Chain A
Amino acid sequence: MRISVVAPSEQYMALAGVRIRYQRIASRLEAAGYTFDIKQISEIDRRVPLESDLYIFSKCYDARSVLAATFMRSQGRCVGIDVFDDYFDQTRDSELIRHREWLRAMGEFCDFFLCSTPRMHDVVARYLPHAPGHILNDPFQTYNVKDVARLAQEKAKRAIRDRRIDVLWFGIGDNPNFHVGLKDLAAYGDHLQQMIRRGFDVDLRILTNRRAMTVEGLQSIGRLSVPHVLQEWSVEREDELLTRSLLAFIPVNGQSFSVAKSLNRAVTALTASAQILSPGYPLYKPLEDFVYDTADAFIDDLEGGKMKLRRATTAALAKKLAVWGDPERESEKLIGFLKAVVETPAATKAPISSVGVIHGVRSPVDCHKAAQRLGYLSVASPMSPPKWNYDVRFVFDQDGVHAQFSGAAKVALASEFLYQLTPGVSPAGKDVVCLSIKTVLPGHPLEAFMSDADQRSQISTYFGAMHLIGDVLSRLIPGIRLHLSELESPYWLAFGDEAPGKRMRIQ
């Protein structure tokens, strides 16, 4: 079996979603006789034959993955998604509509899904009830038990001798939607202050992404009453500082996004001989024998010479980690699951004659390119950027509304409209063919809508424009399957007769 993981860009290859979850098991999958690679989504191209039997999308939360999945399924490939960040359980939050819409859209093409925790499994299963799911625990980096024991002992001795505790906070420091990262560090900072009150100096290192170093982020950690040094995160720096630090400080709050997280930060810290202090939500309960929840308990053990991670407990740690992230075991379980998925015949789908994507207010240009790379139609809406070389766009002038079609779109048009085409030039300066809507679809409300469009607010225009364009296209190109590319959340389509909570399809 050939397996490919599809990531949104090269930048994501170094992030935890790919680095931890796949690079640590890649060699084992290959050793078991499977071909395994990690691709960027931009590599999926109609002109390049699909080499793998099975594709797993990781962190591709935009319409590109929907288009790519449509293409893969049309080529008979197995498609799955790996979901480990919970952007889907907050059903009251308008800001995350686009994520929910993405998951609903992907659900139609997914044969299976992977996730990192039982909780994430439950969340995704609500959206994809038909698809089997598998929990892939984040595999740990291989480590040497004796080195862990020795280093843990040395760190504890040094801390007692110098009355100083080297603490590391590491991770993504921000999230536009959730109270996480540096805000958590600041919110639970009292635990670090308690160490000072107990007579220790605290040397806090903060390792985080550059994007998080905003005024607000710095303001948050500025309220920590402990000396600290802020550094930009890198894998090497994380390794170096974890090896140096006695304590990894990993506070976890109780919101749904945070409690769905995997154990990977704790596992990474423990395998680097760091003790863990994790106040707040007991996310690391499975590792509770190795995790402190209060600074007092930590200091008590430090002064008592009985740290939770020490020579006497490393054997127990090894046993525990074998259950929660042994790369060998995880790769075996994953192979078993994927084999079963591949062997299960996918539900037969009616062949799709044409596929198009309508661009909304904020659609990535990569999505436009991806559509054309896959041989699908890129359709402009009144809100999308005007300069792109779309396959279909609607133009309003004194003669009414005209639909402009590229060569690729012309091929897809129903034959009865072909003789009504007239030549024209698109706003991007390309030769196109045009259809007068007044002529081919007399009385269609799109005509009246666009005549009035400049008087409307974008929010109120959105719904009507998308639906009317979808309606026109489905008449001109029978059987066309349309997707929406939209990164701006408030512009939502499930209006009209559809009950709230159900998605209206544009077709």
Chain B
Amino acid sequence: MYDQANRTRSQTFTKRLARFRRKMFHRQDPSIDAALLIRESGLFDADWYLETYADVAAAGLDPLDHFVAYGGFEGRKASPRFDSRWYMNTYPDVRASRLHPLVHYLKHGQGRAPIKRVGLKGVKTSEEDFGLAAELLTSPLFDAGWYAREHGLVNQSPTAAALHYLLVGAPAGDAAGPKFDTAAYLRAYGDVKDAGMNALLHFHRYGAGEGRRAFTIQDALQDRLSFSDRRDRVVRPSAASVSTPWRQSRSLRGGQGMAIARFGGVAVGLLRDVYDDQTEPLPESLARSLRQFCMVCGLESQEVVRARSGRAPRRVPTASPARNSDDPRVVDGWFVGDSLLRLRFERSAQPVVVRLLQATKGGRLHLVGEAALVEGEQHLVDALLWNPLEPILIVYADLGGRLSGGGLAAFPSLFRNGLHHAEVAATEIDDDITRRRERLHDTLLRQWLANRERDDFAIGRLEIDTLSACGAEHIFSAPVQEWLGRLGVGLRPTERQSLSDGEDADYLTSISQSAPEVSRSAEGVLVLAADSLPTLQALFAARADYRRGGTGALLLSDAAGAPRWSVSFPLSAAGLSDLQPVAAPLIMPTLRLSSAPNTAAARLGPLAVRTASISRLTDARSIYPVAPDSNEPVLYRTLSDRRKAKARVVALVDCQRGGAALVEALARQTMAAALRIVIVCGVGQMLDAATQEALKRLFPDSHQVVGVQGRTFGARMRAAVQAVSVGRNDTLLFCCTDINPHDPRTLETLYILTTEKNVATAGCAHVREGSFRDGRRVENQSAGIFPQRIALDACPSLTFAEMQTAEALPPATYPVAGNTMKFALTTMKVWDKLGGFDPKLGDDSELDFCLRALKAGYTHLCTSSVAVTNTQRATFASTAKRHSTQAFNLEELARLVDQTTLFRALV
């Protein structure tokens, strides 16, 4: 029940407050909004006010409103940092001004004290000390009363207690209150001690934000007890059968000729004292890993390494004179959560303690995992990572704590379920996924270190296409943006943003921008869809690796992170941006380089890992990839009315059975006026009544029926082209009655594609009706033909197949090796130039036509931005075709493959 009394009181108060404000402020200075000014000053503490003035709390009033209207004038304190009464009494002009005392102080009180300064006897205090004391008084961990009692500061103000703590207590390690043990904090964080900063102030200003812990007195006592009795602190290794004790990182203690080695303030193990404040060198593998870790994290190894609780060794130890590490290696790893990495270590020859460290923004190191591994056992070690993309330093020590070796996982995201694991899956097939990951890891690390040294990277910036994005994609997450920032890669939205409007578009634009910590000098820009991440290979490649520019390859994984497809686009696809659908996000990652491309280079490696949301591919989206009631055009490039009026398309309909549905669908096409229908029948075949009726009704003056001989589709179509008169500038539409262009924009979309220079054929996606997996009523099939397998044996051959491209490619236009010609367009010029289908080749005549076109320098385009219905049971995909390459030499074969989009299923 809402408190009626409170509400009434509050309303009355609000009215009085308004009257008061009018009276007090508006008359003097209408520009002053006292409440805002006071709130923003930070000198008013609402909690403290309510605790101090119980009458205000009991009335349920807003403390700030009360202080503005009454409290200040009544001489109440705004907080321990501003005493209204003292201020008004000390400076008589305040009352005379009739201003609120705190407003007066903020606007006119420069150089004046806000509270009475009470110094400490025998201790010299400065104005800055008073400021720091005031800051301490705002801390909930500083208990002035408790501190005063503990230190015998009888009848002293809280400010005096704070000053005492600042200048006397803290340097001596005294607690600030029961909730903050100064000595424990300094013990735990040697860098704070080194810096000479007040521990409590450090905790509030930096420590809490960095994840450091505030120790209560009780915590600290327990820690001290356990430090003095090591048996309480030893922990058993994870294998239950082994009873060997080991020391955790925070229980490591030096002494007896051993010094604690700390990396970035984190105790990682012990090193033997040698002489004169010098320790033994780090084991070789650890020294190397540490050096690389520091390089890739942008840290100085001199700053990172500390021995003896804070004192830096005279030199950074780099090589071990005596020990050969036989520490276990990581054989596998997988993410069980977004940040929870589980590493599997191989059997070790001797017990060993593993510590995992990560660096975060600002160069701070964190212990993210720690475990003891028993000899002869395989072990799983969990690490809750600060950032699943940042490198992990692996430190090995023996059970007594002495450092024995190290390792580096520079790219944790390559582990299974990681954001870049698809890159491992896409490497050359090899039985051992671990070896593939290790090889890729080592290659990438080498590239990174070498190119970092020369500042020679191909990519300096990412541009994000946020069309269809929702803002929850990985690229917008803090870990990814921090990681990219550390790598020197900035983010910017693409110009396609302008297609969207509204608050959501503004929001997406705002989160697509981030500046790197230190920019790379690279001028290359990688343009990505928002559901993508740049591949590691792209990020660490040198300029020379990508000198061809253009487009690249794409790796896909589903929502669970499992790799599904590798899709590689030919360079020619980069010039197809005008032919992409308006409503769809950017299909292919594109690399823009300022230097001229070198066309002799090999096909590019994958540029992006993209999350394909296969579950979003519904029947509706398959049938109409672009919503039919949308007012937007299908493709960026459109056809002017003038060109549409001039267009002439001859539809050659292979009429095997009733063609009425196809004729009706053609009549509904937006380019129906340009159509002339030629029904191609076998000699003696009768056209059914429904088709005849439809032709008469819908194409009364622009249809004809021809009877031709021919066993195959290709032979009949060739005969039909010869039988009818087709103009040199006409376009041919090959179709059959099993196909239905249910979307009225299909013909126009394909026609636009054929107007592109050097395009031989244009086809689109096919959907088949039936009962399919997951209860779907349609199945997608690309009518485009893709090279599936190359056999370079005694009889070299290429195997082609259609693919279920809609799973891997959302609406897009892409080059293919050919189109199934059951619903495809070509121009009469191309037909003439290539000599049409070869009737001798039977069912292979369409593929042969397409391959001859490729050989002659043409391209075939397929688009999944429109679809047709296909009732054929057997499709090209179900009978993958093997095409002899005798007609092609190897060079031509390579060029053919290079002109085509390639798909590969990943496992």
Residue of B nearest to A142 (CB): B2
Residue of A nearest to B62 (CB): A315
Contact B661 A460 (CB under 8 A): yes
- By a CB distance below 8 angstroms, the chain B residues around A94 are 620-621, 623-628
Bound Cα distance A443, B209 (Å): 81
- By a CB distance below 8 angstroms, the chain A residues around B471 are 253-255, 280-281
Contact B619 A488 (CB under 8 A): yes
- By a CB distance below 8 angstroms, the chain A residues around B386 are 197
Q: List 25 A-B contacts (CB under 8 A).
A: A92-B632, A94-B620, A96-B627, A97-B620, A97-B628, A100-B629, A144-B1, A176-B618, A186-B338, A189-B337, A219-B559, A220-B559, A225-B339, A251-B472, A305-B47, A305-B140, A315-B61, A316-B64, A445-B697, A452-B688, A455-B658, A463-B668, A496-B668, A500-B629, A501-B629
Residue of B nearest to A305 (CB): B140
Other A-B pairs, 4, CB within 8 Å; known A95-B621, A495-B628: A184-B472, A226-B337, A451-B690, A452-B661
Contact B624 A492 (CB under 8 A): yes
* A61 CB–B CB distance under 8 Å: no
Which stretch of A28-36, A69-77, A306-314 is in the interface? A306-314
| Known pairs A315-B10, A501-B631; A254 contacts B470 (CB<8 A) | yes
Which stretch of B503-511, B701-709, B797-805, B888-896 is in the interface? B503-511
6 smallest CB-CB distances across A and B, nearest first, come from: A254-B471, A225-B337, A312-B46, A305-B140, A187-B472, A460-B740
Contact B742 A460 (CB under 8 A): yes
Contact B472 A459 (CB under 8 A): no
Chain B: how many interface residues by the 8 Å CB criterion?
A: 93
Could you list which residues of chain B lie within 8 angstroms of chain A, going by C-beta atoms?
Answer: 1-3, 6-7, 10, 46-47, 49-50, 57, 60-65, 139-140, 204, 208-209, 211, 213-214, 335-340, 366, 384, 386, 417, 469-473, 477-479, 502-504, 507-508, 511, 559-561, 583, 613, 615, 618-632, 657-658, 660-661, 664-665, 668, 688-691, 693-694, 697, 740, 742, 744-745, 767, 769, 778, 869, 871
- By a CB distance below 8 angstroms, the chain A residues around B384 are 193, 196-197, 225
Contact B2 A143 (CB under 8 A): yes
Contact B629 A492 (CB under 8 A): yes
Contact B49 A92 (CB under 8 A): no
Contact A97 B660 (CB under 8 A): no
Contact A490 B583 (CB under 8 A): no
Cβ 8 A contact of B477, one of A176, A178, A190, A303 = A190
Q: How far is the CB of B484 from chain A (nearest CB, A)?
A: 15
Q: How far is the CB of B611 from chain A (nearest CB, A)?
A: 11
* A335 CB–B CB distance under 8 Å: no
Bound Cα distance A461, B665 (Å): 10
| Known pairs A259-B504, A281-B504; A312 contacts B49 (CB<8 A) | yes
Q: How far is the CB of A216 from chain B (nearest CB, A)?
A: 6
Which of the listed residues A183, A312, A492 has the most CB atoms from chain B within 10 Å of its own CB? Answer: A312
- By a CB distance below 8 angstroms, the chain A residues around B693 are 445, 448
Contact A304 B140 (CB under 8 A): yes
Could you list which residues of chain A lie within 8 angstroms of chain B, going by C-beta atoms?
Answer: 91-97, 100-101, 119, 142-146, 176, 178-179, 183-184, 186-190, 193, 196-199, 216, 219-220, 222-226, 251, 253-256, 258-259, 280-282, 296, 299-300, 303-306, 310-313, 315-316, 318-319, 445, 448-449, 451-452, 455-461, 463-464, 488-490, 492, 494-496, 500-501, 503
Residue of A nearest to B509 (CB): A254
Bound Cα distance A187, B559 (Å): 11
Contact A193 B511 (CB under 8 A): no
- By a CB distance below 8 angstroms, the chain B residues around A119 are 502-503
- By a CB distance below 8 angstroms, the chain A residues around B211 are 197-199
Bound Cα distance A258, B504 (Å): 9
Contact A193 B339 (CB under 8 A): yes
Cβ 8 A contact of A92, one of B47, B214, B613, B630 = B630
- By a CB distance below 8 angstroms, the chain A residues around B744 are 495-496
Residue of A nearest to B511 (CB): A254
Cβ 8 A contact of A448, one of B631, B660, B668 = B660
Bound Cα distance A146, B744 (Å): 64
| Known pairs A312-B46, A456-B740, A490-B619; A500 contacts B630 (CB<8 A) | yes
- By a CB distance below 8 angstroms, the chain A residues around B622 are 490
Bound Cα distance A199, B188 (Å): 15
- By a CB distance below 8 angstroms, the chain A residues around B62 are 315-316, 319
- By a CB distance below 8 angstroms, the chain B residues around A455 are 657-658, 661
Bound Cα distance A184, B476 (Å): 13
- By a CB distance below 8 angstroms, the chain B residues around A223 are 335, 337-338, 417, 561
Contact B50 A311 (CB under 8 A): yes
Contact A448 B470 (CB under 8 A): no
Contact B740 A259 (CB under 8 A): no
| Known pairs A448-B693, A459-B769; A92 contacts B742 (CB<8 A) | no
Contact A457 B615 (CB under 8 A): no
Q: How far is the CB of B763 from chain A (nearest CB, A)?
A: 18
Cβ 8 A contact of A303, one of B61, B214, B338, B507 = B214
| Known pairs A193-B338, A224-B337, A225-B339; A183 contacts B472 (CB<8 A) | yes
- By a CB distance below 8 angstroms, the chain A residues around B623 are 94, 459, 490
Q: How far is the CB of A106 from chain B (nearest CB, A)?
A: 16
Bound Cα distance A411, B438 (Å): 81
Bound Cα distance A461, B660 (Å): 11
Contact A280 B47 (CB under 8 A): no
Residue of B nearest to A314 (CB): B60
Q: How far is the CB of B366 from chain A (nearest CB, A)?
A: 8
Bound Cα distance A303, B778 (Å): 56
Which of the listed residues B63, B470, B508, B661 has the most CB atoms from chain A within 10 Å of its own CB? Answer: B470
Contact B339 A95 (CB under 8 A): no
Contact B629 A494 (CB under 8 A): yes
Which of the listed residues B2, B57, B214, B688 has the most CB atoms from chain A within 10 Å of its own CB? Answer: B2
Contact A255 B504 (CB under 8 A): yes
Cβ 8 A contact of A258, one of B7, B470, B627 = B470
- By a CB distance below 8 angstroms, the chain B residues around A496 are 668, 744
- By a CB distance below 8 angstroms, the chain B residues around A226 are 337
Q: How far is the CB of A290 from chain B (nearest CB, A)?
A: 13
| Known pairs A254-B508, A258-B470, A451-B689; A311 contacts B661 (CB<8 A) | no
- By a CB distance below 8 angstroms, the chain B residues around A280 are 471-472
Contact A146 B60 (CB under 8 A): yes
Bound Cα distance A460, B659 (Å): 12
Contact A92 B619 (CB under 8 A): no
Contact A458 B769 (CB under 8 A): yes
| Known pairs A316-B62, A459-B869, A461-B661; A448 contacts B469 (CB<8 A) | no
- By a CB distance below 8 angstroms, the chain A residues around B613 are 179
Bound Cα distance A316, B35 (Å): 13
Q: How far is the CB of B668 from chain A (nearest CB, A)?
A: 5
Cβ 8 A contact of B338, one of A178, A224, A445, A492 = A224
Bound Cα distance A456, B337 (Å): 49
Contact A296 B209 (CB under 8 A): yes
- By a CB distance below 8 angstroms, the chain A residues around B204 are 304
Bound Cα distance A302, B209 (Å): 12
Contact A179 B625 (CB under 8 A): no
Q: How far is the CB of A174 from chain B (nearest CB, A)?
A: 11
- By a CB distance below 8 angstroms, the chain B residues around A184 are 472
Bound Cα distance A220, B3 (Å): 42
- By a CB distance below 8 angstroms, the chain A residues around B631 are 91, 500-501
- By a CB distance below 8 angstroms, the chain B residues around A459 are 623, 740, 742, 767, 769, 778, 869
| Known pairs A254-B504, A455-B661, A457-B871; A216 contacts B740 (CB<8 A) | no
Bound Cα distance A456, B57 (Å): 77
Residue of A nearest to B2 (CB): A142
Q: How far is the CB of B667 from chain A (nearest CB, A)?
A: 9
Residue of B nearest to A147 (CB): B3
Contact A219 B626 (CB under 8 A): no
Bound Cα distance A319, B6 (Å): 12
- By a CB distance below 8 angstroms, the chain A residues around B2 are 142-145
Bound Cα distance A176, B688 (Å): 43
Bound Cα distance A206, B495 (Å): 39
Residue of B nearest to A282 (CB): B507
Residue of A nearest to B744 (CB): A495
